[in-house]
Chains A and B, each alone.
Chain A
Amino acid sequence: MNKQLFDVVIIGGGPAGLAAAHSAKLNGAKKILIIERDRELGGILQQCIHNGFGLHRFQQELTGPGYAQRYIQLVKEHPEIEVLLDTMVLQVNKDKTVIAVNPKQGVFEVQGEAIVFTMGCRERTRGAIRIPGKRPAGVFTAGAAQRMVNMEGYLPGKKIVILGSGDIGLIMARRLTLEGADVQAVLEIMPYSNGLTRNIVQCLDDYNIPLHLAHTIIAIHGQERVTGVTCAKVDANMKPIAGTEFDIECDCVLLSVGLIPENELSEEVGIALDAKTNGPIVDQRRQTSIPGFFAAGNVVHVHDLVDFVSEEGEIAGKYAALFAQSKLPENYRTLHVMAENAIRTVVPQKIALDHVSLDAVRLFMRVGKPEENLMVEVTGAGEKVLASKRLPIAKPGEMIVLEIPIDKFADAGDSIAVTTRQVVKA
C-alpha cells in the first residue's frame, strides 16, 4: 500500500471539518485531506432544511444546506484541500497514520503530520434510556426520522409522540406537522426543556403542540407497528409517579433524548476524554492530550449553534496547520480550567501558554440546570477575577461564552476556575 502524505488529515466533512480544512489552508498547510463517510460534504447540516443557521457567522438566517454550501464553496476554491467522499475511517494510529476504506480505492492508508477529529455526535437510543414495552416498528431517533423526511422523502409516522425536547425533537415536531402528520405531544423528563427557547416558541407554541415537562414514556405499545404509549409524570428523581399515567394513541415515537460525541476513534488512539462532555480534553487551540491530534465541533462537546462549531473548527484547523509546519512550540506551560458551582462543563479544559498561541481565549460553558440572576466569574490565582458575565437567565440548553485575552492568564497560576454566584436582581 503506498501511503499518501498530508499536512493535515481531517476526519469528518461536517461543519467542523469544513471550517478546519479552510482554516488549515489559510494558515499555511499545503496538503489537506477531508475524509467523509457520506456521499456529500456538510454532515448533518444537509438534513437540517429549516432556517436559523448562521446568525453569528454570516449575520443571516440560512438553512442547514445553505450554511454548509458556504463552507463547501470555500473548501472547493482551494486545490490544496482534497476530499474523499463515501469513505470510512477504520483506524487511526498514534503515528498519525489513518486507515480508511471506500468502494473505489478499497482499503488505503494516509499519513498526516496533524490529525483533526471532527466526527460529530450520535443520538442516544431507546436502549440507552431503557424505555420498557414492546419493540414494534415506528420507534426512531429524531435525527434518523429527519433524514428520512428531508433527504429520502418518506414519513416515519402519521400520529407522532416525541420524547425529549432537545432541539432536534422540537424541529421535527414542526417539520412533521408541516408534512401533514399529527404531532400529539412532546414529553420531557426534566422539569425544563434542553432546547433553545426560540425553538420551543417557533416549533411547538406556534402549532399548538403540547409540551409536557417532567413527564416520560413508561411503555410503548403495539405488536407490529406502534399503537400508542403510556406516559406518566415523574418526581424529582425522575421516577414515574403512580396514578399519573395516561395513554396517547400514536403510530410513531421519536426520541430526542440527547447526543453523544462520537469518540470511538479518539479513544482507540488513547486520547483522554472529559467524563462530563464525553469529548476529548482540549486546550484553547483544540489540541487533545496527544500532541498533533486536534478536535473540534460536536465531537468535543455538543453545541447548540453551528456558528460555534465552525469557530471551533477554524481554531483546530489553524493550530493543526501550525503543528504540521513545526511552528507550535513543544514545551509550554498549561493552565487547567475548572468548572465550579453552577457550571457543569467548560471547553477548553486547558490553556496552553506559549509565544505562538496568542488568540483571545473563548470559554464555552453550560450550566447543569436552569439558573436565574447568575454572575459567572473566571478567577485565577488569589481569587483574582479575570473576566465575568452577568446572566439574568442561564439554561443548560444555551451555551455561555466568555472571552478572555491571552495575556490575562500570564500570572493566573496553575489553574483557573469558572465559578458562579447568585446576585440580586438588577
Chain B
Amino acid sequence: MQNGTKADIVIIGGGIVGTAIARELSKYQLDVILIEKQPDIAVGTTKANSAILHAGFDAHPDTLKARLNVRGNAMYHELEKELNLDIKWTGSLVVAKTDEEMVTLQELLIRGRKNNVPGLEILNREEVLAREPHLSSSVKGALWAPSAGIFLPFGAAVAFANNAIKNGVRILTECPAEEIVTRAGKVIGVKTPQGLIQCDYIINAAGVHADEISRLAGDDSFTIAPRKGEYILFDRKVGNLVNTVIFPAPSKVSKGILVCPTVHGNIFIGPNAQDIANKEDISTSPTGMSEIIDRAQDLLPQLPIREAITQFSGIRAAADCGDFVIRNSTTAAGLIHAAGIQSPGLTAAPAIAEFVVEILKQNGLLLTAKSAFDPHNPPTVVFKELSLAEKQAVVAQNPLYGRVICRCETITEGEIVAAIQQPCGAKTVDGVKRRTRAGMGRCQGGFCGPRVTAILARELNIPVSQVRKETAASYLFYEKMPGDCEVAGHE
C-alpha cells in the first residue's frame, strides 16, 4: 500500500462488529477499507465468548443493548440464509432454584415483554425437566425464551468479511491504526505501518482497544473496562446432556455461569467474570476453572469433568457507562464509535451495523445503493455433513476432498484449501481451525497440526518456519539449527 491510498470510510477492527459494518456498507456505492492489526479477523472478543444469539430480556428497555439485541436477533434469520451461517435456534432457559429466583424470573419476563422479545413464558419444574432431564432436580422453574439460539461468532464474522470483500470492501490485515489524522477538527485519514489511508469517516470498532483508538483523536469520552470470562469445552460424547442454552438466575453483575450446547454438538460451561488490567490477558486460572466447574455442576450435577477437551478465556469489551457506545466522537468530526460492545454484542452486531449507517447518513454521507450488491456467499462444503453420494461427487470433482486431514472432526484437505483460498482466507493455523474445525476435536490438533502447517506453507507459498499459530509473531516451528550435534557437558 502506498501513501495516497484513499477511501470514503475506514473501519478499524475486524471483529464481528467491524465486519458486520463492512458488509452493511458494501451495499452502497462507497469505497470502504477495513483495517485489522492481527494477521486474521475475528481474533479478539469475537473468537472467545458464549456464542449465543440472545433473546433480549436482560437489558433495560431504554438501552441501546435492549433495542439492538432484539433487532439483531431477528436479522440473523435472514443472514442465516444469505450467508450460510451455522445457527441452531435452540431457545434458552433461565433456571430458578429458589423462590427468590422465581421472583427474578418474573422480573425478566416483564422486562423481556417490554423489549418485545417474542414467545417468553415461565415453565414449572416438570416442564423444565421434560425439556432438560439432566438438570439438577432442585430446579423450581425457568424462563423459556424460544427466540434464543447458538451460532459461530467467528464463522459469522468471516462470512460478513467474505461477503463484504465480494462486494468491493478491502480488508487489510496486520495493519494497526497508529494515528488518526485530523484537520480543523475533522478526520482526514489513518496512519498505519502500511501507509496513510486518506478518508472522510473512521468507524471505531476496535473492541477492547476502542478507547485507545478514541484517544488517538483526543476523545476520552469513554473507557473500556476489560472483563475476562473463562470457559471449558467438553467432548461431543457428552453433548446430549443439554438441548438448550441454560442460564442460572442472574445476579446483579452477570448473567452467571451457563451450560450451553455448541452448534457442533459439544457443550461448554462458563464464563465467570473478572475485571482485569491487561487487555491481552487471556490466561485461564485454576481458581477460575474450579469456580465455573462448581457453578456448572449446580445446574448439571452429572457433568463429567474428564470429558473436558480444552479451556479458554475471552475478554468482554465493556464500556464504563454500561451500555453500547455507538455515536459520533465528541472531538473529531467523521469519527464514529461502535464501542463498548459486550454481551449481547454478537446478537446485536447486524443491528449495530444498520445503526452506524444511520449515523453516517445523519452526518450527511450520501448513500446510493449498489445495484450489483450480492447478499449471498457461496455454500461451503462440509464433507462430514454430506450424504455418501454427495461425498462421492465432491471427491470426483476435487480429489483433495478425499484426503482427511483432521481425523477427530473429519475435515478434508479440500475444506482446508478452500478456507485458505476464500476471499477473507485463513493465513494461520488457528485461522484454518476457526474456518473449518480442523484441530478443534478431542486431539486438539495433535495429529493434524503439522499437516495443516504444511498445507498453509504450500498454499501461501511461504516456508514452514513462517507459518504462524495466530498472532503476528506466533511462529510455530524453527528451521533446524546448523552445525554439529556435539552436546555440551556430555562425557
Chain A positions within 8 Å of B, measured between CB atoms, are 1, 37, 86, 88, 90, 99, 101-107, 122-123, 125-128, 130, 132-138, 140-141, 143-144, 147-149, 152-158, 177-181, 206-208, 218-219, 223-225, 240
Contacts and interface: CB of A to CB of B under 8 A. Distances in A.
B477 A105 contact: no
Interface in B471-491: 471-481, 483, 485, 487, 489-490
- Please list the 8 inter-chain residue pairs (A to B) with the smallest Cβ-Cβ separation, ordered nearest first: A127-B310, A106-B395, A103-B399, A137-B469, A88-B404, A103-B402, A154-B477, A137-B474
B489 A208 contact: yes
Contact of A148 (B311, B447, B470, B477): B477
A127 B309 contact: yes
Contact of A219 (B283, B391, B483): B283
A90 B407 CA distance: 9
8 contacts: A103-B400, A122-B442, A130-B232, A130-B289, A137-B475, A152-B454, A155-B477, A224-B470
B443 to A, nearest CB: 5
A153 B463 CA distance: 12
Contact of B487 (A135, A177, A224): A177
B468 A153 contact: no
A136 B396 CA distance: 39
B308 A106 contact: no
A147 to B, nearest CB: 5
A302 to B, nearest CB: 15
B238 interface: no
Given A37-B407, A103-B403, A127-B308, A132 B284 contact: yes
B485 A178 contact: yes
Contact of B403 (A1, A102, A132, A147): A102
Given A130-B311, A177-B487, A224-B472, A156 B402 contact: no
B402 A154 contact: no
Contacts of B286: 132, 218, 240
A338 to B, nearest CB: 24
A207 B487 contact: yes
Contacts of B489: 208
A107 B444 CA distance: 26
A268 to B, nearest CB: 11
B302 interface: no
A157 B444 contact: no
B407 A88 contact: yes
B481 A155 contact: yes
Contact of B402 (A105, A135, A218): A105
Interface of B: 232-233, 280-286, 288-289, 306, 308-312, 388, 391-392, 395-396, 399-404, 407, 410, 442-447, 449-450, 454, 464-465, 468-481, 483, 485, 487, 489-490
Contact of B395 (A1, A86, A101): A101
A224 B402 contact: no
A144 B450 contact: yes
A180 B447 contact: no
B312 A135 contact: yes
Contacts of A133: 283-284
Given A37-B407, A132-B285, A143 B446 contact: yes
A234 to B, nearest CB: 12
B38 to A, nearest CB: 11
A306 B464 CA distance: 32
Given A103-B399, A153-B480, A144 B447 contact: yes
Contacts of A156: 476-478
Contacts of A155: 477-481
A147 B451 CA distance: 10
B399 to A, nearest CB: 4
A125 to B, nearest CB: 4
Given A137-B470, A177-B487, A178-B487, A122 B477 contact: no
Contacts of B312: 135
- Most A CB atoms within 10 A — which of B289, B388, B449? B388
Given A86-B403, A225-B474, A122 B447 contact: yes
Nearest to A153: B480
B73 to A, nearest CB: 31
A164 B400 CA distance: 37
A224 B474 contact: yes
A224 B449 contact: no
A250 B241 CA distance: 40
A155 B450 CA distance: 12
A201 to B, nearest CB: 14
Nearest to B288: A132
Given A136-B474, A137-B470, A155-B478, A106 B392 contact: yes
- Most B CB atoms within 10 A — which of A102, A107, A133? A107
Nearest to A90: B410
A223 B403 contact: no
A361 B254 CA distance: 61
- Most B CB atoms within 10 A — which of A130, A158, A206? A130
A414 B65 CA distance: 68
A137 B404 contact: no
B308 A135 contact: no
Nearest to A225: B474
A100 to B, nearest CB: 10
A339 B470 CA distance: 47
B36 to A, nearest CB: 16
Contacts of B283: 132-134, 219
Contacts of B388: 1, 99, 107
Contacts of A148: 450, 477
A181 B446 CA distance: 21
Given A101-B391, A126-B444, A130-B232, A135 B282 contact: yes
A184 B279 CA distance: 31
Contact of B443 (A106, A123, A137, A240): A123
B378 to A, nearest CB: 22
B481 A180 contact: yes
A106 B396 contact: yes
A316 B310 CA distance: 35
Contacts of A180: 480-481, 483, 485
Given A154-B464, A179-B480, A141 B446 contact: yes
A140 B286 CA distance: 21
A154 B479 contact: yes
B280 A125 contact: no
B468 A137 contact: yes
A132 B289 contact: yes
Given A101-B404, A133-B283, A137-B468, 8 more contacts: A90-B410, A103-B401, A105-B402, A107-B402, A123-B446, A155-B477, A223-B471, A225-B474
A229 to B, nearest CB: 12
Contacts of B404: 37, 88, 90, 101
Given A102-B403, A179-B481, A225 B454 contact: no
A404 B468 CA distance: 55
Contact of B308 (A37, A102, A128, A140): A128
Contact of B485 (A152, A154, A179): A179
Contacts of A130: 232, 284, 289, 308, 311
- Most A CB atoms within 10 A — which of B232, B312, B478? B478
B304 to A, nearest CB: 12
B473 A224 contact: yes
A154 B480 CA distance: 5
A165 to B, nearest CB: 18
A253 B403 CA distance: 30
A141 B308 CA distance: 17
B305 to A, nearest CB: 9
A127 B481 contact: no
A118 B444 CA distance: 22
A238 to B, nearest CB: 12
B263 to A, nearest CB: 19
Contacts of B407: 37, 88
A371 to B, nearest CB: 26
Contacts of B485: 178-180
Nearest to B312: A135
A206 B490 CA distance: 7
